[in-house]
Structure 1
Amino acid sequence: MSVREEVLDKIENFKSSVVSSLTEISELDVTCKSIIDQHLNDSNSLNSKSILKIQAVIDYMYEQVNIGNWKEVRLYLRKTLTVATYLRLKAHIKFSDNMSDDTIKEGLRIIDFGILFGCPLDAEPNLLQLCASCLHSFITQDEKQEIDGKAIVHSTFKFENEPYNSKVLDVIDCPSMENFFRNYILAEKPIVLDNCLNHWPAITKWQDQSYFIKLAGLRTVSIELGKDYTDANWTQKLMTIEDFIKNHIYNENGTTGYLAQYQLFDQIPELKKDIVEPEYCCFSDTNDPVDIMAWYGPKGTVSPLHHDPKKNLLAQVVGEKQVFIFSPQDSEYLYPHEHELLNNTARIDPRLPNFEKFPKYKNAKGYYCVLKAGQMLYIPPKWWHFVESLSVSFSVSFWWD
């Protein structure tokens, strides 16, 4: 059996799950549904013309899911995109001359597009991720490049004077569950936690940026480009993790690139094996799963002063970040944006506040800290926080109700 046949055989094993998911897209229009039914139920019907038809379904679904508010997109549209991506991948491999690295790269690009704009199927939530793992295992070692001489340079940052109206946030050593619940969750009080991440494989593995290239360099992700999301020139661009690392993590003279608030661990489950969900997240008011987000970027990335509705444990894995935190009671002193889309974001820059423009900021009473690798910061719901990377940085946030 050739490598191409072996890959096709492994991907074909998911067919029954995909077929059973057709009930999840029953609202699909007749034309798109007939194309999917035909090629999913009869693999022999796949031919060179099928690629054009399947790609047309993907393009149409992409157009539909990008009309209006993302939160209001009908799930069947995104699930159709996932199913069509599975068929597009099968056709791509079937009509490739061989399983060259270029063939695998294109296959991973097809998969990641489906993950980014589709959504999990009930019958097999990890369908596309499993397909990606299958393909990635056939990449030659030469493609798993390393970055030579690119060690993480840790910050030597120190405040010469305490920032205006802010005091140093307390640090405690790995508190008991009872202590954390009573004194910080119930009290809605921020705190830095030390020695809670020592058992994470990521603490050592992620110090080497080549690790990300080896494990996931060919995977496509969405990168934020610009000063921060309030900037008029801010935009987003799809690129591979390898290109992001080489062009943004170590390129201090170009446009700032930031993989921010990104569901990286859902897209690439292999990375999730390197972290452990903190036990403190068990103090939840619901049975909803914890939202796990990645924050990866060079020195100088900024998240403007803003607040989130959920409890937040921000785990610092690589590098250091400077963080300012303010109570919800200080909201009127922080000058939130009036626009509906930015009303959870303030106009104050606590590093260098403009008192002429924002005089009431003098009444605010904040906290600050330099969050070091191996530490976690607990941010209660609705507490304002400003975050700046002081070095190349990788953080993981855990959000829960």
Structure 2
Amino acid sequence: MVALQDICNKLEGYKASVAKSLPEIDELDAATKSLLQRYINSTESTDPSSVIRIQAILDYMYEKINIGNWKEVKLFIRKAITIATYLKLLAHVRFSNEDKDTMIKQAFKIIDFGILFGCPLEKEPKLLQNCASILSTVNVQQSARYFKDKSDKETSSTSNTTTEACKFNATPIEIIDCPSMEHFLKNYILKERPVILDNCINHWPALEKWKDQNYFIKLAGPRTVSIEIGSKYTDSDWTQRLITIEEFIKEYIYQTKGPTGYLAQYQLFDQIPELKNDITEPEYCCFADSTDPVDVMAWYGPKGTVSPLHHDPKRNLLTQVVGEKQLFLFSPSDSQHLYPHDHELLDNTAQVDPRQPDLEKYPNYKNATPYYCILKPGQMLYIPPKWWHFVESLSISFSVSFWWE
């Protein structure tokens, strides 16, 4: 077991690079910046009361980011949150009076707040993630195995793609076996055609590891994430909640009553890099028009989660790891038949539910051409840019999407 003093020393090791990051928050008001600088460059961080003072800075920054649109929040404010989070973590680990397990779990909450509301520093872009990795070397007492003897029936369905496609008067999406790079580029990327790629990720450890919910609890149970609460994001009662992964699994993954909880479109692998060791970025993502990194998003939830019919601007390889999902796809040329919302925040989302289209309300839908599939574990669905897609989980499901320009 790693000694807490060693943990403190390792965390303190990032102080120099954090100090070099101070010019990144030059726009911050002088008083707040001066206080952060004093804690970084002096021994005052060894004062137990510093936790309270740093929390006051975080509260001040949190108020600032909650004024107006999130996209308009200045980066220097979010970077200040990252720096203040790091300083609070140092003081907490060194001076907490809690038992070791409680102290470590609280430390993860401090880190995750910084990851969720802060942003990377140029000098130390993985600062808080690295701090979390250091803390994970301490043996924290986890819950006993919570889910026992869960059968594969809970993570799979008996639906058949062809049968279901006929029911919806839809065209089954083509399935091809691990195509060559050239074949994929020529026939699907360049032609902007959807396709399911089979037997391309058989080497992923996630295919076996992620079947067991206890794996997530053991690896990342105390980590805080943001989940969606509600049937779909277009509903008026849809909201979000901060919750630990262990709480999310116990409260939502196997529950069939009450509101649906969904870890949707979430950068889980940036927050918890250990999970990224279980997957590999598909080589097909190399066909890019820019040098921007691929966006890797997690989609984790119970049976019945829904993403309404919508489209995205990037190419997408939606990869199914656990459970199954049914998807309806429509070409961009069908947009006029799908009744997109008028509101600018929802103009990429359609009003039609392709499972039960209301033809009296949306008569032009009958002119649309739906494509359909049931995506199974180990399969990747290529969704071209601007293609409409509706997604529903048929079982407990974990998917990973790879988005690129």
SS of equivalent to 1:317: strand
- Per the alignment, residue 372 of structure 2 pairs with 368
In the alignment, the residues of structure 1 paired with residue 206 and residue 346 of structure 2 have an alpha-carbon distance, to the nearest angstrom, of: 33
Question: What is the DSSP-based 3-state SS (H/G/I as helix, E as strand, rest coil) of the residue aligned with 2:49?
Answer: helix
The alignment's TM-score, normalised by the length of structure 1, stands at 0.97
- Residue 273 of structure 2 is aligned to residue 273 of structure 1: no
Q: C-alpha separation between the residues in 1 aligned to 2:332 and 2:164?
A: 28
TM-score (norm 2): 0.96
Confirm whether residue 345 of structure 1 aligns to residue 349 of structure 2.
yes
- Kindly provide the CA deviation profile for residues 189-209 of structure 1, in whole angstroms up to 9, marking residues without a partner as x: 000110011011111111111
**What does residue 237 of structure 2 align with?**
233
Change (3 A) 1:307 1:142: closer
Which residue is 2:29 aligned to? 29
- Picking from 147, 152, 157, the partner of 1:155 is 157
Could you tell me which amino acid in structure 1 is paired with residue 253 of structure 2? I
C-alpha spacing 1:309/1:131, structure 2 compared with 1 (3 Å):
same
The answer for the alignment partner of 1:335 in structure 2 is 339
Note the C-alpha offset of 1:144.
6.6
**CA deviation string 1:115-137 (max 9, x = no partner):** 00000111111111111111122
Deviation at 1:99, TM superposition (A): 5.4
AA in 1 matched with 2:78:
R
Letter in 1 for 2:48: S
In structure 1, what is the Cα distance between the partners aligned to 2:145 and 2:131? Answer: 22
TM-superposed CA distance for 1:86, in Å, is 0.3
Match of 2:303 in 1: 299
| Map of 1:8 onto structure 2 | 8
Q: Distance in 1 between matches of 2:404 and 2:144?
A: 35
CA distance in 1, matches of 2:295, 2:377: 21
Number of positions where the alignment pairs a residue of Structure 1 with one of Structure 2: 401
- Stretches of structure 1 lacking an aligned partner (at least 5 in a row): none
Instruction: Determine the C-alpha separation between the residues in 2 that align with 1:304 and 1:295.
Output: 14
SS in 1 for 2:54: helix
Amino acid at match of 1:330: D
Structure 2 Cα separation of the partners of residues 119 and 47 of structure 1: 26
1:181 aligns with 2:185: yes
Give the match for residue 111 of structure 2. 111
Q: Report what 1:86 is aligned to.
A: 86
- 320, 323, 340: which is aligned to 1:319? 323
Consecutive unaligned residues of structure 2, counting only runs of 5 or more, are none
* 1:191 corresponds to which of 186, 189, 195: 195
Q: Identify the residue that residue 390 of structure 2 maps to in structure 1.
A: 386
Q: Which amino acid aligns with 2:256?
A: E
Residue by residue over 1:101-125, the C-alpha shift from the partner in whole angstroms, topping out at 9 and shown as x without a partner, is: 0011111000000000000111111
Distance in 2 (alpha carbons) for counterparts of 1:2 and 1:307: 48
Q: CA deviation at 1:151?
A: 3.6
1:99 & 1:134 partners in 2: Cα distance? 18
Two-structure CA RMSD over aligned residues (Å): 1.5
* Structure 2 CA distance for aligned equivalents of residues 273 and 234 of structure 1: 32
Q: Is the 8 A contact 1:8 1:93 kept in 2?
A: yes
Q: Report if aligned partners of 1:85, 1:111 keep a CA contact under 8 Å in 2.
A: yes
Superposed, 1:47-86 pairs within 5 Å as 47-86=47-86
CA–CA separation in structure 1 for the residues paired with 2:45 and 2:306: 51
Inter-CA distance 301–142: structure 2 relative to 1 (3 Å threshold): closer
Deviation at 1:214, TM superposition (A): 0.7
Q: Is the 8 A contact 1:194 1:375 kept in 2?
A: yes
